[in-house]
Structure 1
Amino acid sequence: MLFVWIGLWTVGLLLILTDPKRSTTRWISSIAFTGGSGGLSAVLGDSIIPYLAAHAGYTEQTLHIWQLIEIALSKVCYYGLPYTFLMFTLVYYPQPIPRKLLTAAPYALLAPIAVSFAFQPKDTAPIPYSYVMLWTTPYILLGVALLAVAAFRERNTYLRLNRMLTMIAAAPTLMFAMFTMYILPAYYGVYDFWRYNLWVIIFTLAVILVSSLRYGFMGLQISIQNQKRDYTLRAITSGTAILNHAIKNDVGKIKLFSQKLKMDARASGNVSAEADIEVIMSATQHIYEMMSRIQGQTQEVDLQLEEHRLDAIIRDTLSALEPEFSAGQVEVAADLRYEKPFVCDSAQLTEVFTNLFTNAAEAMPGGGKLHVKLFETKRTIVAEVQDTGAGMDKKQLKRVFDPFYTTKAGKKLNFGLGLSYCYHVIQKHKGRMNIDSKPGKGTTVYISFSKRHHALK
């Protein structure tokens, strides 16, 4: 049980530190903390309290306090686990739930818990199982049903994967806990079967660990990656600014003296020297353009937020790139269903979508289809850009947002900064950007914005 306590509280802490403002994160963290409380209660009852009782110097009053703490933690687990689980699934459910109902639910669902304290547990039982089972079982069954419906109804590929992972992590553990913690004690008088919860909790933690490393779980992977990328981008921004300043000064000197030498060579009729100086001047101009472009894509993004139409930004960008699509035989299909006012930096998002659409076209050199979708969920606005190109393998996909990483080797003036810039702009808009790709099956980019920050009513 020590592992259960440490494991669940660690996951809960990581999740709440990842995104404390998001209600789904807060509720799923609450599930981890309430479940971990049961593990801590077992550690107190099995190890700590017997150890204290066996050693001199501890009074009966001290031991009684520790026993009260054990009982309190046990009830936090028994009563809190079904409650926090159902609240999480209500908030996590993608279909709109009436605001009044969602506001009243946390208080209404506490009523059976309050009533539970009016019943006296039998013998040494920690809770009145016969009554508690009447509300905990429906709470867990309804929560599992909501998770299943949310996962199977989700049409967005990336979001469906995340919902499936969440269901796989939560549903088996809660269903098993329903039998071991409530049904078996209430109907069969089996009280200690809850100790086998350890194995399903290990399974849950394994699912969270693996999915966090590969796909992300409730934003956990994104947060870790964001911190790494933020640090890298800040270092690059500072470094390129210093480097650009130094190079521009030296390039300016080279250009000045090259022009002087060119004039001297021309005056003396030295055609060969004049040609050589032209090569030097061309090279310095290339260096200057290269550094200017690098600095332009690594400098700090300063947003100019105004009211725009996101669907109009996407349409205008697609229209501007129409010649490129036609030349590359790229067929464009746009399904833009979100047509409401949107607060954003129009210029920066135009650059983001230009990068994404251009990347998609370049990934289909022999022609293909570009699907662009814009839609809304209960809490987010999602843009989806999908191509039918060659795709990327897992190794490429892991590094795709890293600055200076590129899959377009040999392309002129391509420094692998496009997607890093896109990521940075989307993050500045408090949005999220994810990429799903498989070799031979194309690439899909998902961008999601919180309605709370961007949508106007």
Structure 2
Amino acid sequence: MIFVFIVLWIAALLLLLSGWRNRSARWLSSVAFCGGSGALASVLQEVIRPVVSVLGGTATTDESLYTAMTIFSLISYYGLPYCYVRFAGTYHGLPQIPPTWRWLHWLLLLPVLGMSLLYPYYPPNYDVLVYWAVPYIIIGTLLIVGKRGILPWEQRSHQVTMIAVVPAVLFAMVMNYVMPALGIYEMWRYNVWTITLAFLIFVTALFKSGFLGVQLYIERRQMDRTLRAITSGTAILNHAIKNDIGKIQLYCDKLKSTSDEGAEGALGEQIQDVKVIERAATHIQEMVNRVQHNTQDLVLRPEPVLLETLISENIEMLRPKLVQSGIEVRTSWDEDHMMMELVVDRAQVHEALHNIMMNAIEAMPRGGRLMFQRNETKRMWIVAIEDTGIGIPKDQLAKVMTPFFTTKASSSNNFGLGLAYCYQVMKKHGGTMRIESPPSSGTTVYLHFAKNKRASREAGS
């Protein structure tokens, strides 16, 4: 049970720290905490209390350990069903009418409070416990299994949740609640096998496909560190190059003014050389400005904006390129019913959309379809921009948002900053950006915009 206690509390901590803004992750963290509490209670009862007794522990110490064992045991028995059904409801995305939902929260908590008051000692009254704990777990399982409207990028995470969470909780329901109610005790010891399997699946998903957004958080941290380093580095580089360019331009002016006007041929050749130097200096300055523009910390100027309007404006702006490339544009919404109203920086979001659409056009040189789809959750608007182009090789997909990485090596004007800039725009607005590109199936960029006012708070910070 020591192993079970450790792995469950590690899982709870990882979920809490990595996905603390995700309500589903927070509730699943509480499920793992409750499961780990039961294992800790077993460790206190079967390992720590006997050891302390052998080492000469007092009656007061033993009573304290028994009290701790009872508390952790009841947290597990009473808390796990409640936290599980709350996780399932949040994960499923049940419609939440505020007054009704708050009332339901309290109603679900009543059996936990009642059992805590009526049966505050270990072991709990299994004959009463089974009548509400089992329905909670079954209802929660049905909600998880019945989750609908799963977006493509969520499918793998949903499969992991189904495999890792549901079997372990159902097995614990039988061993911890049903069997004791039938008079068969100590069956909870077999939970170690399903919990071990669930933990292995969780850890594997954590570093490969993601689990309730946890991998996305790790990717963000890596990207944020890279962007901060680049922001600092380009600021220093920009300062140094500007100083030297200033010197070059100063001496170019001096050469022009002090040239020997009598030596007409030499003068003409000298002026041409100076112009070459000036053009080179101007080119360097333009390159520095472009890099700095795409890597510097963004300052938002939020205002109410309809995302459909920004998308439509970009489509019209790029209409000549779309027609020239033979690309058909499709949107999944009626232009007369624009709904995605947010408070964002119009110019920055417009530019981000433009960059993504240009990438899609360049990926379809022989024509294709550019499709825009809209979805929503309680807190997010989700825009999917899908093309039928050549796609992104699997070995490059994880790198495309890394600054200075580009798949367009043949272009001297491409700095590999477009998608890094788009990521930065979404991050500053409290949203996320995700890219999928199945082999030979085009590319889809998912933009998640927060429905709250976080953009305005970011701008003011």
Both proteins in one fold, TM over 0.5 = yes
Aligned to 1:202: 196
Tell me whether 1:165 sits opposite 2:160 in the alignment.
Answer: yes
Question: Are the structure 2 counterparts of residues 383 and 198 from structure 1 closer, same or farther at C-alpha, using a change threshold of 3 Å?
Answer: same
Aligned to 1:96: 95
Q: In the aligned structure 1, how far is the partner of 2:395 from the partner of 2:184?
A: 50
| TM-score of the superposed pair, with normalisation by structure 2 | 0.91
Tell me whether 1:429 sits opposite 2:429 in the alignment.
Answer: yes
Tell me whether 1:440 sits opposite 2:440 in the alignment.
Answer: yes
Question: Are the structure 2 counterparts of residues 28 and 322 from structure 1 closer, same or farther at C-alpha, using a change threshold of 3 Å?
Answer: same
8 A contact 1:95–1:378 mirrored in 2: no
Aligned to 2:309: 312
Question: Are the structure 2 counterparts of residues 441 and 48 from structure 1 closer, same or farther at C-alpha, using a change threshold of 3 Å?
Answer: same
Aligned to 1:115: 114
Question: Are the structure 2 counterparts of residues 76 and 155 from structure 1 closer, same or farther at C-alpha, using a change threshold of 3 Å?
Answer: closer
Tell me whether 1:284 sits opposite 2:281 in the alignment.
Answer: yes
1:215-230 aligned within 5 A: 215-230=209-224
User: 2:170 aligned to 169, 175, 198, which one?
Assistant: 175
Q: Deviations over 1:290-321 (max 9, x none)?
A: 11100000111011111111111111111111
CA shift, 1:446, in A, is 0.9
Q: In the aligned structure 1, how far is the partner of 2:194 from the partner of 2:119?
A: 30
| TM-score of the superposed pair, with normalisation by structure 1 | 0.92
Secondary structure at the aligned position of 2:452 is classed as: helix
1:78-157 aligned within 5 A: 78-117=77-116, 126-150=123-147, 153-157=148-152
Question: Are the structure 2 counterparts of residues 231 and 436 from structure 1 closer, same or farther at C-alpha, using a change threshold of 3 Å?
Answer: same
1:11-26 aligned within 5 A: 11-26=11-26
Q: In the aligned structure 1, how far is the partner of 2:38 from the partner of 2:395?
A: 40
Secondary structure at the aligned position of 1:109 is classed as: helix
Unaligned regions of 5+ residues in structure 2, if any?
457-461
Q: In the aligned structure 1, how far is the partner of 2:74 from the partner of 2:118?
A: 13
User: 2:331 aligned to 334, 350, 356, which one?
Assistant: 334
Q: In the aligned structure 2, how far is the partner of 1:280 from the partner of 1:455?
A: 44
CA shift, 1:274, in A, is 4.9
Q: Deviations over 1:310-338 (max 9, x none)?
A: 11111111111111212222211112465
Question: Are the structure 2 counterparts of residues 306 and 113 from structure 1 closer, same or farther at C-alpha, using a change threshold of 3 Å?
Answer: same
Paired amino acid for 1:361:
I
8 A contact 2:384–2:445 mirrored in 1: yes
Unaligned regions of 5+ residues in structure 1, if any?
none
Paired amino acid for 2:162:
M
Q: Deviations over 1:265-290 (max 9, x none)?
A: 88531465555444333322221111
Q: In the aligned structure 2, how far is the partner of 1:165 from the partner of 1:145?
A: 16
Aligned to 1:63: 62
Aligned to 1:416: 416
Report the more deviating stretch, 224-233 or 251-260. Answer: 251-260
Q: In the aligned structure 2, how far is the partner of 1:113 from the partner of 1:94?
A: 23
Aligned to 1:268: 264
Report the more deviating stretch, 366-375 or 422-431. Answer: 366-375
CA shift, 1:158, in A, is 1.3
CA shift, 1:345, in A, is 0.7
User: 1:234 aligned to 220, 228, 232, which one?
Assistant: 228
Q: In the aligned structure 2, how far is the partner of 1:400 from the partner of 1:333?
A: 25
Secondary structure at the aligned position of 1:343 is classed as: strand
Q: In the aligned structure 2, how far is the partner of 1:365 from the partner of 1:438?
A: 19
Q: In the aligned structure 2, how far is the partner of 1:126 from the partner of 1:179?
A: 17
Q: In the aligned structure 1, how far is the partner of 2:450 from the partner of 2:168?
A: 30
Aligned to 2:52: 52
1:396-411 aligned within 5 A: 396-411=396-411
CA shift, 1:17, in A, is 2.1
CA shift, 1:351, in A, is 0.6
Report the more deviating stretch, 202-211 or 26-35. Answer: 202-211
CA shift, 1:28, in A, is 1.5
Paired amino acid for 1:217:
F
Paired amino acid for 2:155:
R
Tell me whether 1:321 sits opposite 2:318 in the alignment.
Answer: yes
Q: In the aligned structure 1, how far is the partner of 2:113 from the partner of 2:238?
A: 66
Q: In the aligned structure 2, how far is the partner of 1:77 from the partner of 1:47?
A: 18
Secondary structure at the aligned position of 2:304 is classed as: strand
Paired amino acid for 1:268:
E
Paired amino acid for 1:443:
T
Aligned to 1:249: 243
Secondary structure at the aligned position of 2:104 is classed as: helix
User: 1:301 aligned to 298, 301, 321, which one?
Assistant: 298
Q: In the aligned structure 2, how far is the partner of 1:45 from the partner of 1:216?
A: 36
CA shift, 1:173, in A, is 0.9
CA shift, 1:175, in A, is 0.8
8 A contact 1:336–1:375 mirrored in 2: no
Question: Are the structure 2 counterparts of residues 23 and 265 from structure 1 closer, same or farther at C-alpha, using a change threshold of 3 Å?
Answer: farther
For the aligned residue pairs, the C-alpha RMSD in angstroms reads: 2.3
Secondary structure at the aligned position of 1:452 is classed as: coil
Identity %: 40
Question: Are the structure 2 counterparts of residues 242 and 134 from structure 1 closer, same or farther at C-alpha, using a change threshold of 3 Å?
Answer: same
Question: Are the structure 2 counterparts of residues 421 and 265 from structure 1 closer, same or farther at C-alpha, using a change threshold of 3 Å?
Answer: farther
8 A contact 1:369–1:388 mirrored in 2: yes
CA shift, 1:134, in A, is 1.0
Secondary structure at the aligned position of 2:413 is classed as: coil
Q: In the aligned structure 2, how far is the partner of 1:350 from the partner of 1:99?
A: 34
Aligned to 1:375: 375
8 A contact 2:386–2:443 mirrored in 1: yes
CA shift, 1:241, in A, is 1.3
8 A contact 2:73–2:122 mirrored in 1: no
Q: In the aligned structure 2, how far is the partner of 1:89 from the partner of 1:284?
A: 61
Q: In the aligned structure 1, how far is the partner of 2:176 from the partner of 2:188?
A: 6
CA shift, 1:18, in A, is 2.6
Question: Are the structure 2 counterparts of residues 163 and 450 from structure 1 closer, same or farther at C-alpha, using a change threshold of 3 Å?
Answer: farther
